[in-house]
Structure 1
Amino acid sequence: MTLPLEDTLVGYPSGETVNSTTVLHSEPLPDGRLAVILERTCVHPVDAGWPDQGADRALIRVAGAELPVLDCVVGATDGGTLHLGRDIPVGKGTEGWAFVVVHLLAGDAVIAEGETAEVVVDAGYRGRLSAGHTGCHLASLALNRALADRWKKETRADGLGNPDFDGLAIDVSLIGENGSTDTYRLGKSLRRKGFVTEGFVDGLAEVQAQVNASLAGWVATGAGVRIDRDGDRLNDRRYWVLELPGHTVRIPCGGTHPSSLADVGSARVELSTADVDGATVLTMATFVG
């Protein structure tokens, strides 16, 4: 069977943790692992373009065997060669290319193209990652709100109408179980966009207090959370939607999330700064649950 020429069907955006499917492709990799592509999967993969949320823990049941998924990544193919992660040579949506979810198994795994398989995700681990991801979005909105008066130029707004500090200053975002860590660089580029850095470090405790107050208020609403999507394929656009009282927030997002803020339980952040190569770097650690 040749490599697929359609993007993988994905069920994880709707919260799916179990699905039946057909094995489309299986090939050994130079590192000794086995790359497996399924027609449909509920396993969330790592995207090399923005690897903030890691892969689900999962297994594939086939022909009476349970095969652990060692890792899961986004790949791409033109029908001839499979490219993984950062080795993908084209952008998403390139004509003639399919973007696929690649399940990486042990090299001695036995799984044949055309077989029927059942995919099972560790729902508890998924739930903790999902809570961490929603907490990350909430914290970014709360940080934007707390820093709204530090802009001296008009700039793009976030989903609540505040200047989008998070979107303009983010360096690295990592989603973990029941939390996240985001780092922001407050350098020359951000200052040219109109952000005022003078006195930022001295006022950090007050910013943290304001962020945590916003988080407590939002979580207390138990507001609904959902993923809107343009389709069921891997590359179809998806959005995190939060239904706060009186305001709907919509953010592009390819990750997984709980169905309401009631599932988050609680949320708080700890802010810290460091000097890196002459620029202030802000770290926001978010904790939920």
Structure 2
Amino acid sequence: MVVMLPQHDTDVSYPLGVTQARATVLHTERLADGRAVVLLDSTPCHPVDAAWPDQGPDRAKLLTDGAEIPVLDAVVAASNGSELFLGSDIPVRKGTEGWSFLVAHLVNGESAPAEGSQLEVLVDADYRLALSSGHSACHLVSLALNRAVAERWNKEVRPDSLGAPDFDGSAIASSTITEYGSTDVYRLNKSLRRKGFDAEGLEQALPELNAAINQTVAQWLASGAEIRINREGEGLTDRRYWSCELPEGTASIPCGGTHLSSLSELGSVNVRLTLRESNGPELEMTTNCVKTQE
């Protein structure tokens, strides 16, 4: 039997901060491990993306016919119309013609809802808030880091949206969003030095850089700047940008995650820089933030 899978990307509402929405089940499929994939026409549930897994999946449940079905995981999936590939098994890049990119809700195989049924997706709003806080703070401190190390460049390099040399974009190796925080790792390798970055004396300069970043971020937080997600469409792979109206201008960073609506939702942000060795020298930036007390 030929299985016909969705021919268009899943519509997603999590970029707008939505945590509860109605949806229609388009397809269910049992997996060998006892779980089942549930594909919906739309969802507020943020999935983890194997290509850049910085923000993990939302915690959520599906509500149908009086039953609560826990979502065990949510991942980006892709289909060519007849086959479904999950996470790291996806064989093509996003946007490949003839492929649709989907949010796969993984549930217990015995609990999978019927195709064609209507249900409600309910996301854990507190956990979403914690991750959104960490993600918004992560973007903010990356811009402050770019500014702090700007004088270490001796060649022209692509600027960030505020005009500083984009160290974050040039050196980032990994980013992990946590509850009210993040950890970013930057490669200080030969490639970065060839681009013009001078890492000489960086270890001794860490206290000064820490102080500069925290001071810049504190000034930005005091502005209570608005945060927006600008998107080119409602589909999973439509381009989206984190945008924040900072005193120096509008900051914009491509991003597929979830965020706060204002910097006023963050009470404070603190950054700690450390140097480490892992297949070469690396700079690690750990960010911790707290929400504004109600």
TM-score, structure 2 length as denominator?
0.96
Q: Matches of 2:277 and 2:25 in 1, distance apart?
A: 50
- Preserved CA contact (<8 Å) 2:19 2:124: yes
Residues 72 and 107, structure 2, Cα contact 8 Å, conserved in 1: yes
User: How do residues 75-224 of structure 1 correspond to structure 2 at under 5 angstroms?
Assistant: 75-224=77-226
Quote the Cα distance in structure 1 between the aligned partners of 2:128 and 2:253: 20
CA deviation vs aligned residue, 1:184-243 (integer Å, no higher than 9, x gap): 110101000000011111111101110110111101110000100001011110000001
Instruction: For residue 2 of structure 1, report the CA deviation from its aligned partner.
Output: 2.6
* SS of 1:22 mapped into structure 2: strand
The amino acid that maps onto 1:286 is: T
Aligned residue pairs, count: 288
Secondary structure of the corresponding residue to residue 243 of structure 1: strand
Q: Distance in 2 between matches of 1:34 and 1:49?
A: 22
Secondary structure of 1:104's aligned partner:
strand
Aligned to 1:288: 289
Work out the CA distance in 2 between the residues paired with 1:2 and 1:185.
Answer: 44
Distance 2:106 2:257 in 1: 19
1:27-66 → structure 2 map (5 Å cutoff)? 27-66=29-68
CA distance, structure 2, for counterparts of residue 267 and residue 211 of structure 1: 10
Q: SS of the residue aligned with 2:203?
A: coil
SS at match of 2:177: strand
Q: In the alignment, is residue 239 of structure 1 matched against residue 241 of structure 2?
A: yes
User: Distance between the aligned counterparts of 2:227 and 2:112, measured in 1?
Assistant: 39
- Whole-Å Cα distance in 1 between the matches of residues 231 and 42 of structure 2? 16
Q: Is there any run of 5+ residues in structure 1 with no aligned partner, and where?
A: none
Specify the SS of the correspondent of 2:224: coil
The Cα offsets for residues 146-177 of structure 1, whole Å up to 9 and x where unpaired, read as: 00000000000011100011111111100010
**TM-score when scaled to structure 1?**
0.98
Matched letter for residue 286 of structure 2: A
Identical-residue share of aligned pairs (%):
57
Partners of 1:192 and 1:86 in 2: how far apart? 32
State which of 245, 259, 270 in structure 2 corresponds to 1:257. Answer: 259
CA distance in 1, matches of 2:18, 2:284: 32
Q: Following the alignment from structure 1 to structure 2, what is the Cα–Cα distance between the partners of residues 174 and 132?
A: 9
- Tell me the alpha carbon deviations over residues 71-121 of structure 1, each in whole angstroms, 9 at most, x when there is no partner: 000000011111001111111111111100000001221410000010000
CA contact (8 A) 2:162 2:248 kept: no
Q: Please state whether the residue corresponding to 1:283 is helix, strand or coil.
A: strand
Q: Match for 1:10: what amino acid?
A: V
* Alignment root-mean-square deviation, CA: 1.0
Partner of residue 269, structure 2: 267
Q: Write the letter of the residue equivalent to 1:201.
A: E
Matches of 1:246 and 1:156, distance apart in 2: 18
Gaps of at least 5 residues in structure 2 are: none
Shift of 1:246: 4.6
Separation (CA, whole Å) in 1 of partners of 2:91 and 2:278: 32
Alignment partners' CA distance in 1, 2:98 and 2:283: 42
Alpha-carbon distance between aligned partners in 1 of 2:92 and 2:210, rounded to the nearest angstrom: 41
